[in-house]
């Protein structure tokens, strides 16, 4: 049971920051290692980036795939950290070759692409994990588990949000690359704020509650003058059980950093979680507020969650650890698939959540364009 070997697509250029986050997340548990990469589009730049990462470089994802198929390059799965528009092609190629994929979100540029990937995954039974990092936080997993156990009864209403302030001014005109591509329709697609962070709020609302959003009424804004895509995203949705979801995201909330979180109101109780205080979960089922803390040694965690934690109570795990948990789920799926001894993987977001996310953003944009008319997903 050696370390799993991981390849990375993208992560060498502008995506550099997040490439290194994955690099750390892969390494964190000493059971996976980053060994190969097709890290940039330009072949020469790709090889140079591989040197910087200290992995075997390939000039393109096709070259990496070929090397794997020819047996030259040992590889257990790939991570895709390219910009949004460049997720689909490599994901499709590797999945069709039967190689598991851990893909950044949003999954694709269009609903059609997303559905295509789903078809491949469903047919080929290839492990696919969507990198909604926050779903790797044990307390967000615990929230999903409590809902599943019926702790708050039937879900009536969900509120999920993601407030940021970094795009409150036109940074894209000042040359900031992160701002440039996100606000450029040719690279970001039909939505900036909705696609980038609205999808996180959407996943919180649906993945934790266990309910799909079936239709939406939306109002998107572009508050910063000259900006073509939304920097503010507000959706009222209907859940598949008739409940209501309020999903909001904004990038113009000055001083807010990654204020992502959710509240769930059920027939028996409520849950509340905040990403920026990820270490605790508030549960209310009666007169006394209950606060649960992260910590591998707490007996209230089922083994499915405790096995994802690395330190006892009082010491928190946060961002890298959450992403490492998604890589951990991929690892468990692969190892169990091979008959190796591994704990069960938690049901982290996969291709279904990816498809739903694409449909959600599309329906929200359409609804907003039609004056908030209710639009099916």
Question: What is the footprint of a copy of itself within residues 287-316 (CB under 8 A)?
Answer: 287-293, 295, 298-300, 310-316
Residue with smaller CB distance to a copy of itself, 80 or 253: 253
Say if strands 56-57 and 32-38 run parallel, antiparallel, or are unpaired: parallel
> Could you count the other beta carbons within 10 Å of the beta carbon of residue 276?
11
Contact code string over 112-151 relative to a copy of itself, x by CB under 8 A:
----------------------------------------
Per CB under 8 A, 104 contacts a copy of itself: no
> In sequence order, which residues have a C-beta less than 8 Å from that of residue 200 and are 6 or more positions away?
105, 132, 134, 162, 249, 260
Per CB under 8 A, 234 contacts a copy of itself: yes
Q: What minimum distance in Å lies between the beta carbon of 331 and a copy of itself?
A: 15
Range 251-280, binding a copy of itself (CB under 8 A)? 252-259, 263, 265-270, 275-279
Q: What minimum distance in Å lies between the beta carbon of 123 and a copy of itself?
A: 36
Per CB under 8 A, 35 contacts a copy of itself: no
Q: Which of 104, 159, 196, 331 binds a copy of itself (CB under 8 A)?
A: 159
Q: Which of 250, 307, 309, 329 binds a copy of itself (CB under 8 A)?
A: 250
Go through the chain and tell me how many residues it has.
Answer: 377
Please classify residue 124 by burial: count the beta carbons closer than 10 Å to its beta carbon, then call 0-12 exposed, 13-18 middle and 19+ buried.
middle
The token pair at 276 is 């920026």
Residue with smaller CB distance to a copy of itself, 97 or 319: 319
For residue 210, give the nearest of 153, 136, 291 by alpha carbon.
Answer: 153
Contact 314, 297 (CB under 8 A): no
Residue with smaller CB distance to a copy of itself, 19 or 90: 19
Please classify residue 12 by burial: count the beta carbons closer than 10 Å to its beta carbon, then call 0-12 exposed, 13-18 middle and 19+ buried.
buried
- Backbone φ, ψ for residue 256 (5° rounding): -90, 135
Q: What minimum distance in Å lies between the beta carbon of 105 and a copy of itself?
A: 16
């Amino acid at each position: 049971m050696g370390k799993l070997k991981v390849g990375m697509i993208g992560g060498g250029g502008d995506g550099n920051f997040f490439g290194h986050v994955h690099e750390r997340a892969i390494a964190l548990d000493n059971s996976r290692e980053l060994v190969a990469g097709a890290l940039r589009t330009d072949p020469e730049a790709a090889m140079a980036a591989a040197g910087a990462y200290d992995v075997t470089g390939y000039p393109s994802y096709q070259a990496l795939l070929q090397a794997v198929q020819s047996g030259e390059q040992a590889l257990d799965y790939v991570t895709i950290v390219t910009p949004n528009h460049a997720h689909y092609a490599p994901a499709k190629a590797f999945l069709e070759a039967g190689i598991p994929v851990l893909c950044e979100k949003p999954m694709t540029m269009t609903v059609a692409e997303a559905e295509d990937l789903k078809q491949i995954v469903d047919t080929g039974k290839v492990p696919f994990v969507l990198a909604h990092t926050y779903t790797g936080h044990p307390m967000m997993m615990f929230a999903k588990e409590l809902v599943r156990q019926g702790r708050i009864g039937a879900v009536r209403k969900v509120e999920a949000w993601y407030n940021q302030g970094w795009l409150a001014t036109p940074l894209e005109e000042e040359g900031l690359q992160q701002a440039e591509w996100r606000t450029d329709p040719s690279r970001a697609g039909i939505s900036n704020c909705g696609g980038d962070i609205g999808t996180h709020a959407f996943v919180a609302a649906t993945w934790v509650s266990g309910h799909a959003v079936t239709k939406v009424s939306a109002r998107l804004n572009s508050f910063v003058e000259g900006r073509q895509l939304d920097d503010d995203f507000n959706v009222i949705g209907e859940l598949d059980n008739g409940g209501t979801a309020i999903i909001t995201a904004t990038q113009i909330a000055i001083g807010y950093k990654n204020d992502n979180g959710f509240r769930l109101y059920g027939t028996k109780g409520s849950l509340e979680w905040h990403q920026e205080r990820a270490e605790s979960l508030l549960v209310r089922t009666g007169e006394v507020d209950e606060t649960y803390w992260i910590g591998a040694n707490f007996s209230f965690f089922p083994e499915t969650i405790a096995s994802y934690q690395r330190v006892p109570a009082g010491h928190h795990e946060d961002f890298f650890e959450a992403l490492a948990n998604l890589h951990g789920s991929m690892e468990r799926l692969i190892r169990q698939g091979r008959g190796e001894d591994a704990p069960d993987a938690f049901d982290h977001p996969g291709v279904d959540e990816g498809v739903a996310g694409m449909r959600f953003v599309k329906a929200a944009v359409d609804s907003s364009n039609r004056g908030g008319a209710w639009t099916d997903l």
